[in-house]
Chain A
Amino acid sequence: GDSVTQTEGQVTVSESKSLIINCTYSATSIGYPNLFWYVRYPGEGLQLLLKVITAGQKGSSRGFEATYNKEATSFHLQKASVQESDSAVYYCALSDRGNMGYKLTFGTGTSLLVDP
């Protein structure tokens, strides 16, 4: 089946420093999956951070970027300068059209703590 592997556990970064959260995927369908980053801020539900549905393209939102690399099957999340308000749990996900239609498969989540 489909799977998503991302940087595990908690990542601590000092404010204004750069961030990368790794994400690699395996999709069982013949076509290209859609790739997503979702974020969960404390006390809130998950919300879409960015998505890319075409291989080779880059998505961006709130200063975060991720590039759909089909060859490496990767979709790493990067930010040049993090802020304390970025502290949250980040989930990489893919949407693959299996026999039963669209489903999202999530990674285990990466908890980002930004030190002020």
Chain B
Amino acid sequence: EAAVTQSPRNKVAVTGGKVTLSCNQTNNHNNMYWYRQDTGHGLRLIHYSYGAGSTEKGDIPDGYKASRPSQENFSLILELATPSQTSVYFCASGDPLSGNTLYFGEGSRLIVV
């Protein structure tokens, strides 16, 4: 069964601190994605990747970096966290050959105080 796991599931960070959200997938999908979900905005794409070593900017990349060191792992990095980055973050993997169905993790709730 497709599996995408995220860590941590919950995180409280201080303003100006560094936060790393990690994602691991066992689907062997080339594509991976980071979204954030906020009330009134739905899911918005932050960064995505086509494979190990690649990262691409999504629709709202400012304040975020991404890293894809391997096929399985895709990290989202907040170098200087701000309260506006308080949100729920979802990682997903997908295969364009299957109509780009995405498989999501359970989400990481981040609160920046």
A residues lining the B interface (CB < 8 Å)? 1, 4, 34, 36, 38, 44-48, 51, 53, 91, 95, 97, 100-109
Contact A104 B102 (CB under 8 A): yes
Contact B99 A34 (CB under 8 A): yes
Q: Which residue of A lies closest to B95 (CB)?
A: A102
Contact B90 A107 (CB under 8 A): no
**Cα of A108 to Cα of B100 in the assembled complex, Å:** 20
- State the majority secondary structure of interface residues on B: strand
Q: How many A-B residue pairs have CB under 8 A?
A: 61
Q: What are 15 contact pairs spanning A and B, CB under 8 A?
A: A4-B42, A34-B100, A36-B101, A45-B105, A46-B43, A46-B92, A95-B99, A103-B33, A103-B48, A104-B33, A104-B45, A106-B44, A108-B40, A108-B42, A109-B42
**Cα of A111 to Cα of B84 in the assembled complex, Å:** 23
